[in-house]
Amino acid sequence: MERHFDEELKELHKEILKMGALAQESIYKSIEALKNRDKAGAQEVIDTDTRIDELELLIDEQCIDLIARYQPVAFDLRFITTGMKLNAELERIADLAVDICQRVLELVDKPLLKPLIDIPKLSTIAQKMVHDSIDSFIKKDMDLAKKVVLSDSEADQLRNLVQEELVNDYMARDTSTATRAVPLFLIARHLERICDHATNIAEDVIYMVEGKVVKHHHQDLE
Amino acid sequence: MERHFDEELKELHKEILKMGALAQESIYKSIEALKNRDKAGAQEVIDTDTRIDELELLIDEQCIDLIARYQPVAFDLRFITTGMKLNAELERIADLAVDICQRVLELVDKPLLKPLIDIPKLSTIAQKMVHDSIDSFIKKDMDLAKKVVLSDSEADQLRNLVQEELVNDYMARDTSTATRAVPLFLIARHLERICDHATNIAEDVIYMVEGKVVKHHHQDLE
């Protein structure tokens, strides 16, 4: 019985890693589509989302099934319930990549507003945070999880910069920019929400490993 | 044992209802603060959020503890894992009410742009969806859950209307409106995301009761 449980747990790891890889790929491709004004690329991310949705349901089932059949307690139980949360966060991250692609489709036929300000930089941070948050779960690595939580304020600041620049330097100066500035404004928000989801994952990992609540108490980490 | 489990499950119901009531109250108060340009009211919602965050953690613990001690299977297990998801959704709903209040604080010292378009109407839909989604969970009421899922497209349409009006009739015509139109634009998005979270809850309830996946397949409900 023990042996099987461990094997099935490893199977669960693998599925979660796959889910994480798909979510990261969606973020990357959504920003590539934005940079290259690539309609087909944006559409591809939107179409792939069905696969990610299906994988989410599969992982959720796997988790409930593991609990029902093996009735794990203590750390094992918490590991699986944390896996369920992480799974839901990853599905939402992929949804946000779809949101970005929908903005790309709105923008693609309009003249470029200007180079994309700090959006590519924000996207790099988002991808790293997602990667590290999943890694911290699989490796039960507290330090890495804490690093993710602390990166979130950098992402917030960058989003604010992008937003302020778009509102003050474009929308508030030239009305003709509104329909092009608004989608970029939203893309910055979508990326920052991806960072929030990665932070949620990392907070759950810290709680899982340490039993310490950092959710809503980031100052305790610094 | 049976008896105790049932009693503790009822206790869990009560806590979830309390969480739902707090979340609904936050939405209501955030829109009241917007209508009345009420800084103190907005601040109150922001301050109350700590209580909601604490309750979320408490409910999460209660759920894991119930699973560990009673090792429920089949429907009981699924009911508790659904409760965990619902709990997380409600916490996010309350966070979005906080987001609305932060926009209210940005707006309160600026001249009014115009009456609030369809934002109060969108807020009424959001509150009803949240209420009904929790109700459908407690009563295991499939029909009510399906009604919630189907309301979501109405909320989407209303948000799009508000956004188009703000971009086309204000931002794209008069640059001086940008800093006032953007917060309203975001409030419409916050409200629509509240509706999305209520939809997530209702989808989870349908799956819990019927074992049928409607998540990502809304057309099957119509």
pLDDT 10s digits, A122-159:
999 999 999 999 999 999 999 999 999 999 999 999 99
Encode pLDDT of A61-108 as tens digits: 999 999 999 999 889 999 999 999 999 999 999 999 999 999 999 999
Select from A76, A103, A216, A220 the residue whose CB has the most chain B CBs within 10 Å, as the one to mutate to test that interface: A216
Q: What domains, with CATH codes, occur in chain A?
A: 2-221 (1.20.58.220)
pLDDT given for residue A220 in this prediction:
63
Encode pLDDT of B109-164 as tens digits: 988 877 677 899 999 999 999 999 999 999 999 999 999 999 999 999 999 999 99
Indicate yes or no: CB of A175 within 8 angstroms of CB of B176. Answer: no
Chain B residues near residue A179 by CB distance under 8 angstroms:
167, 172
Indicate yes or no: CB of B73 within 8 angstroms of CB of A74. Answer: no
Residues A31-48: what's their mean pLDDT?
96
Encode pLDDT of B62-97 as tens digits: 999 999 999 998 899 999 999 999 999 999 999 999
Give the C-alpha separation, B92 to A148, whole Å. 20
Indicate yes or no: CB of B172 within 8 angstroms of CB of A172. Answer: no
Indicate yes or no: CB of B213 within 8 angstroms of CB of A81. Answer: no
pLDDT given for residue A212 in this prediction:
64
pTM of the model: 0.91
Encode pLDDT of B17-66 as tens digits: 999 999 999 999 999 999 999 999 999 999 999 999 999 999 999 999 99
